[in-house]
Amino acid sequence: MIAGNWKMNMTPTQAKDLIEAMKPAIGKAKWCDIVLCVPFTDIQAAVKAAKGSRISVGAQNMHEEEKGAYTGEISAAMLIDSGVRYVIIGHSERREYFGETDEKVNRKAAAAVAAGLRPIICVGESLDQRETGVTIEHIRMQIKAAVKDLTERDLKKVIFAYEPIWAIGTGRTATSEQADEVCREIRACLRELYGARAARAVSILYGGSMNAKNAESLLAMPDVDGGLIGGASLKAEDFAAIVNAANQ
């Protein structure tokens, strides 16, 4: 899977233009799922523009409750009814700037699955954590917290993304070996919780300054099943190049 994360970029008009530009460039890609996680206000335009293509539309966040007095929030049912199939949960920017805790991430992931959305659950360590040697411990803790009370059947709907915080938007990519090591650990952790077959079937993406140049070597790693792309998903050519790298 190659998923774009537009973050707080693109108006609906720009979203339509960008998707129109992407469509011919990714037309031949058959072997990976392509998702664009767009701002809420772009969903309608994106769904319309992506119609008839291999692009699915995702959101970048949702509220964990079904409905109610939560001013400014968006529910899973609203997303589904708008044509959304995927939702990013627990991106490090949401954890850092919007106070999303592991418990919230778990509740949102459970609510997404229950409603029929496929959550893309993000985990990742800070530079400090990497340098003090607690990366794996931290990632395992985030994974265990995120999937708490999810069944093996629920797990089939979940996608994971390993995004080292120090690599997001910095131009500093994890090496292919670093990315693979953590993705392998995530799979090992899921194997302990759900068994080998379930862990093998899960898709684990890498995210953090993935671009047209480094995508091929990252995607070639055995435990890296795809990418979550920020900056490079805002340019049709770059995103298409990453999708094409995934198709090789």
Active site residues: 91, 163
Q: How do beta strands 159-162 and 2-5 pair?
A: unpaired
Options 2, 210, 240, 242; binder of ligand PGA; rule CB under 6 A:
210
Distances (CA, A) of 237 to 96, 232, 240: 30, 9, 5
Closest CB to ligand PGA among 123 and 199? Answer: 123
Options 60, 106, 135, 209; binder of ligand PGA; rule CB under 6 A:
209
Total residues interacting with ligand PGA, rule: CB under 6 A: 13
Closest CB to ligand PGA among 182 and 228? Answer: 228
Q: Which of 139, 84, 140, 145 is nearest to 112 (CA)?
A: 84
| In the complex, least distance from residue 128 CB atom to ligand PGA, rounded to whole angstroms | 18
Q: How many CB atoms lie within 10 A of CB 161?
A: 27
Q: Does 231 participate in binding ligand PGA (rule CB under 6 A)? A: yes
Options 59, 229, 241, 245; binder of ligand PGA; rule CB under 6 A:
229
Q: Which of 226, 177, 186 is nearest to 205 (CA)?
A: 226
Output the six-digit token pair for 132.
Answer: 């003090």
Please provide the distance, in angstroms rounded to a whole number, between the alpha carbons at the two ends of the chain.
Answer: 13
Closest CB to ligand PGA among 43 and 231? Answer: 231
Q: Does 123 participate in binding ligand PGA (rule CB under 6 A)? A: no
Options 35, 168, 179, 182; binder of ligand PGA; rule CB under 6 A:
168
Return d(Cα 248, Cα 244) in angstroms, integer: 7
Closest CB to ligand PGA among 32 and 199? Answer: 32
Residue nearest to ligand PGA (CB): 230
Q: How many CB atoms lie within 10 A of CB 179?
A: 29
Q: Residue numbers of the site for ligand PGA (CB under 6 A)?
A: 5, 163, 168-169, 207-210, 228-232
